[in-house]
Amino acid sequence: MNKMLAIAVGKRILKVRKSKKLSQDRLAILAKIDRSYIGRIERGEVNITLEILYKLSETLGCDPKELLP
């Protein structure tokens, strides 16, 4: 797994989430993604798919490209 990529993407997701004052629980519910998976994504522990990237960006109200390093 490309650990650096996963960590960089995770950090951006966490940053945007916090800027929107959303908790991980709230993001998980809104994006219909498992709460623990959100945590693993933000810690850079998983190599997410484009579908997950788009679900998150749509929920966060940002361009998916903003979440890419």
Please report, as ranges, the residues that interact with a second copy according to CB under 8 A.
Answer: 1-2, 5-6, 9, 47-51, 53-54, 64-65, 68
Q: How far is the CB of 2 from a second copy (least distance, A)?
A: 5
- Tokens, residue 14: 């966490």
CB 8 within 8 A of CB 44: yes
- Tokens, residue 56: 């998150």
d(CA 11, CA 52): 15
> Closest CB to a second copy among 21 and 51?
51
> Closest CB to a second copy among 21 and 69?
69
